[in-house]
Amino acid sequence: MSLEFIVKSQKLNKRYGETIALKNVDIAIKRGSIYGLVGNNGAGKTTFLKIISGLTAADSGTFSLLGADNAAGYRSVRKRTGAIIENPGFYPKMTAKQNLEYYRIQRGIPGKETVDELLYLVGLEHAAKKKFASLSLGMKQRLGIALALMGEPELLILDEPINGLDPMGIIEIRKLLLKLNQEKNVTILISSHILTELENVATDYGFLNKGELVEEVAAEKLKEKCRTFLEVKVTDAAAYAALLETELLCSNYKVLPGNCIHILEHVDRVSDYSALAVKHDIGLLAFEMKEINLENYYMNLIGAENQTSDAQE
């Protein structure tokens, strides 16, 4: 089994009664990556994280976790993972530090300095003496991450840690995740129902829709797919496309139905593209700069899937 993947699932299935929570899900998470698991409410994200974390069992299918692929193996590697899936039970009247200290003792983790180091790592050293109840939501989330980091895990599993945070809180969590990944080599599996929240953080994405993995893609590839293009509508797309190649040496374009062409390169050469049509007496019907951003890419993906499948059937 390849250790290049810290988690690799094959054909995972899970039902709750009539509800299909996961359907033949194959997910491969590379060691060292920040894997964004994205999907609407009810898409199956938490179910996947729970299976990997041992909080529930799959009905069928297999997965490997840090090289282990059976119950005894999972038990021994789980101490090398940390997770926040359901809200950790913090005591509201105890301080941030007392709460972590409580869990350190309960888990038998040696070293009183551990808690201070964790508070520092998540940027809560100044809030150590604040009562949990008085912390902002972002601070509470970071305290949860500190708890998940106790025991120095190689894999951190976070279920919607950004949910409900204000923009500042989102930035702080992003910075923390990048620091953990880059400085501590922690592989991170993070779920979100808002794709753009994971932008600039995730190195890889898995898109879940109604229990099915609709796409798994590296962030770099996704960036290539999400970009600005020129939409040109002309009276004769075939003739215009030929001229694009011969006169402007442009080869990166797509001809679509309705005499519509998407030009994907040198989009700044707007005047050249319009002059080309004028010069050859081709009618220019529309000319518009457009952008595929992450969010509408995802909506298109989910929308397309919704027309072809229905996991709740």
Check residue 246 for interaction with ligand ATP (CB under 6 A).
no
Check residue 44 for interaction with ligand ATP (CB under 6 A).
yes
Of 36-44, 89-97, 146-154, 299-307: span binding ligand ATP (CB under 6 A): 36-44
Check residue 45 for interaction with ligand ATP (CB under 6 A).
yes
Of 39-47, 60-68, 124-132, 276-284: span binding ligand ATP (CB under 6 A): 39-47
CB of 171 to ligand ATP, least distance (A): 22
Check residue 30 for interaction with ligand ATP (CB under 6 A).
no
CB of 158 to ligand ATP, least distance (A): 12
3-state secondary structure the chain: CCCCEEEEEEEEEEEECCEEEEEEECCEEECCCEEEEECCCCCCHHHHHHHHHCCCCCCEEEEEECCECCHHHHHHHHHHEEEECCCCCCCCCCEHHHHHHHHHHHCCCCCCHHHHHHHHHCCCHHHCCCEHHHCCHHHHHHHHHHHHCCCCCCEEEEECCCCCCCHHHHHHHHHHHHHHHHHHCCEEEEEECCHHHHCCCCCEEEEEECCEEEEEEEHHHHHHHCCEEEEEEECCHHHHHHHHHHHHCCCCEEEECCCEEEECCCCCCHHHHHHHHHHCCCCEEEEEEEECCHHHHHHHHHHHHHHHCCCCC
Size, binding site for ligand ATP by CB under 6 A: 12
- For ligand ATP, what does the binding mask look like between residues 173 and 202, x meaning CB under 6 A? --------------------x---------
CB of 211 to ligand ATP, least distance (A): 7
- Positions that interact with ligand ATP (CB under 6 A): 16, 19, 21, 39, 41-47, 193
